Structure 1
Amino acid sequence: MDAIERTATKYRNLRLNATASRLPELLARADANELSYLHLVEMMADHELEQRTGKRIALNRRKAGFPAEKILEGFDYRHQTTINKRQVNALLDFDFIDQRNNVIFIGPPGVGKTHLAIGIGQKAINAGYKVLFRSALDLVEELELAEMKGELKKKVSQLVKFDLMVIDELGYLPMSRQSRYNLFQLINSFYEYRSLIITTNKDFTHWGEFFHNDNVAVPIIDRIIHHSHIFMLGGESYRLKQKTAQ
């Protein structure tokens, strides 16, 4: 075993696997560019950090549970009458996450609410935040199952570990009394502690319809809209446009 192999083995023992696997290449690059010892060490550290960051982002993207690969660069603003690229880009400094604010997209089906929510979520992961995506239906079922097992508090504690949670299509289906209670527990736990992106087809004046109880809707709405960025989306349905174009 030569010196490079021995050194690589030591790096692996220190769990510096990225540096160990590329050690010959890094040394050759340093030699070719006549780098100082300090620059060589810095280059090796940068390589290790870059690889670890990439792996962490990939892991967080898998954990997010996005239903589709949607990127903001693929969003077509030409069919939008009420939101523009500048408004969306203003969210990408992620000050809303740091300030524990929420983002709400309200509009009819097919105008791109979910696309925007996923796209912003993807960007947040790239920026180092932990993101979770759930459709409202899946989330309600997940909370109900936890409640039936007597583990609702534990489940909510797991969910609030994420910096940002996307709740998609809230309001498409009515909710039972227990579901409303479970959702309130989650929203209350996120309030001023974590951030939410919510997509819904109903404005807040009609939330009582799917909560079946204004006494439940009001406190949930109050916690969601306090410290929030609200966007009313209009325009023609993308899906309908694509269907009629065939």
Structure 2
Amino acid sequence: MAEPRVLKELEEELICSVCLDVYRNPVSLSCGHSFCEACIQGVLRNQRCPQGLLSCPLCSAQEALPTKLQPNIQLRSVVQKFLDTSEQNATPEEELKREVECEEEGESSDLRDEEILCDFCLEKPQPAVKTCMNCETSLCQAHLGKHSTKAFLISHVLMEPCDARVLAERRCSQHGKLLECYCVTDSVCVCMLCCATSSHRNHEIISVEEAFGHAQNAFPKTVQTLKKHEAAVNKSLENLLSQQEKIKVCSTVP
């Protein structure tokens, strides 16, 4: 009776964080994290890292692109034993469910072309619910849950799903780094390297979050000032129209 529970617990330890399924031909990166070989290859194709580098989808650790991904032999053996045991204990309902899932794989929708899709869903992409500015990846609800449970990813900046164009706008055009700072002196967003090495080095620098907070606090006052200017402009316009009418009347009098 304990065997199904043990298998379920083991399965949770053998889930690839990209496809959210049991590992298939698992390979490992130098940071120690493992992924399905096809999954990590797909992620690497979609990454926007500097040429010659790859970034781990879990910890964002960067390393030189290897000539060949290293198979995790021990993990592959554990996965195979798990799959063999699961097949032997599978019920007819579970077998039918697997067949249906296999038939549904590869189906696509025209609507998805208009959506921002999850970068981690390789076989059946799901709509993204957030885009991580640090990882430069879009995540569906399931992968966002995995992303949010990692302590070292908590500080990452998440925003509404966006495409590569918007991501590029959040990167420094000079250094390629995330625009995390705001130069008060020049009223422009800058990256950390801009603060340390460029012409912004001796300027007043605050975080983007702090600058956003200041802008939010100043917004009501800015709106009020604009309303005053609008009232003044409308009054000046009324005076001009009044003068125009007087000129027309004077010009018609013999």
Question: Do these two structures clear the TM 0.5 threshold for a shared fold by scoring above it?
Answer: no
Select the structure with the greater relative contact order (CA < 8 A; seq sep ≥ 6).
1
Q: Bigger radius of gyration, 1 or 2? A: 2
**Is the helix fraction higher in 1 or 2?**
1
After TM superposition, the score normalised by the length of structure 2 is: 0.23
